[in-house]
Amino acid sequence: MSELLIATSASAALHPQALDTGYAPVDEFGMPYLLHPFEAPGHYYEEWIDDDHSFYRRNAPELRGTAGKALRVGRVQETQRWLHNNKHYAFPEGVTRFPQDDGESFALTVLACAGYVSRTALDVRDKSNPKYITMSNRTYDFVRGRKQLHFEQRRNYKLGYKTQENAVKKIGLFFADYIKEHGLEGVVDEKIVDEFLHTPSQKNRQKLGNKILGHAMNAAVQPITPLYKEALSEGAVRPTKRHPARVVLDIFPISKWPDYHDSLEQALAA
């Protein structure tokens, strides 16, 4: 995992970045800054609201794979249209930095799911001269609220309103794939694996499969736990999300694990 995502007090030297590059900056955790809300000019209606994806860049290959799609849908700010337009004028090239591997994508997606928000935001009232601005406590609480910061929402025509169901599926798929790929090696007793692969009992297979995935999930989140705890200590993630494993379980709950036992068997038998 890159130094950018090893958050320490020394990492503050990375902030602030220049705002005249055409690229939207990221903070010391690698997360793009949110937009500070402001009263709209007279020629804009306050009710003109847009969804602003934190991670964006036209035709970016980093947003096409399973990890990139999860990152893209996992953090959307509901913001005023005039600010959204100004942001894309000021930063037409997209974010300055994407995660460099699946480990960084996993860390940032977990932080996004936990509602991570920096105290620093972007002031884009003057689209030709964007600035950093520190949010007041009141603004910070507003911006990080679930109505303002959420997963990507799409209209469900059967229900007649927007839901986050599609985003949750994409994030859950990434979490499942990442856990299987990065959490299995060396963390599960070979006897348990052998019994899972050969037991004739479906009930026992399900129990063992869940046990293996539980070990793998804990192993997968362990490298990002120090980063997560630092964000938690700074009050930058929602206080109900005390551990990254809890965040993963909210998106990829145990009830879903049996759906992945067949692919888990293939991975273990390879």
Residues 131 and 182 in one domain: no
Q: Place 43 in a pLDDT band, splitting at 50, 70 and 90.
A: low
pTM over cut 0.85? yes
Give the CA distances from residue 34 to residues 115, 173, 228, in Å, rounded to whole numbers and listed in that order.
12, 26, 19
The span from the CA of 1 to the CA of 4, in Å, is: 8
Residues 22 and 148 in one domain: yes
> Looking at per-residue confidence, does 16 or 18 come out higher?
18
Q: Give residues with Cβ within 8 angstroms of 44, minimum separation 6.
A: 80, 81, 82
Query: Residue range 141-156: average pLDDT?
Result: 90
> Looking at per-residue confidence, does 44 or 1 come out higher?
44
Last residue of a domain, one of 154, 185, 210: 154
DSSP 177-220: HHHHHHS-TTTS-HHHHHHHHH-S-HHHHHHHHHHHHHHHHHHH
Residues 123 and 175 in one domain: no
State residue 70's pLDDT score: 97
Question: Residue 208 pLDDT > 60, yes or no?
Answer: yes
State residue 236's pLDDT score: 96
Of the listed ranges 88-92, 100-104, 151-155, the least confidently predicted one is 151-155
Q: What is the dihedral of CA 79, 88, 39, 162, to 10 degrees?
A: -20
Residues 147 and 231 in one domain: no
Query: Residue range 20-38: average pLDDT?
Result: 93
Of the listed ranges 5-9, 36-40, 152-156, 186-190, the least confidently predicted one is 5-9
Last residue of a domain, one of 125, 154, 183: 154
> Looking at per-residue confidence, does 23 or 185 come out higher?
23
List the structure tokens of 149: 């910061």
Question: Residue 44 pLDDT > 90, yes or no?
Answer: no
Query: Residue range 149-159: average pLDDT?
Result: 80
Question: Residue 199 pLDDT > 70, yes or no?
Answer: yes
Could you tell me how many residues make up the chain? 270
State residue 184's pLDDT score: 87
State residue 65's pLDDT score: 93
Establish whether the linkage from the previous residue to 16 is cis, with ω within 30° of 0: yes
Residues 23 and 62 in one domain: yes
Residues 164 and 245 in one domain: yes
Residues 133 and 150 in one domain: yes
Residues 88 and 43 in one domain: yes
State residue 270's pLDDT score: 77
Domain that holds residue 97: 3-154
State residue 49's pLDDT score: 86
CA nearest neighbour of 183 among 102, 108, 113, 254:
102
Give the CA distances from residue 157 to residues 154, 170, 182, in Å, rounded to whole numbers and listed in that order.
9, 19, 37
Residues 133 and 34 in one domain: yes
Last residue of a domain, one of 154, 175, 193: 154
Letter for the amino acid at 233?
Answer: S
Residues 251 and 168 in one domain: yes
State residue 155's pLDDT score: 66
Residues 14 and 118 in one domain: yes
What pLDDT digit, counting tens, does each position of 98-142 carry?
Answer: 999 999 999 999 999 999 999 999 999 999 999 999 999 999 999
What pLDDT digit, counting tens, does each position of 65-86 carry?
Answer: 999 999 999 999 999 999 999 9
Mean residue pLDDT of the chain comes to 88
The span from the CA of 23 to the CA of 43, in Å, is: 27
> Looking at per-residue confidence, does 43 or 210 come out higher?
210
Q: Place 250 in a pLDDT band, splitting at 50, 70 and 90.
A: very high
Question: Residue 5 pLDDT > 60, yes or no?
Answer: no
Q: Give residues with Cβ within 8 angstroms of 225, minimum separation 6.
A: 243, 244
Q: How many domains does one find in the chain?
A: 2
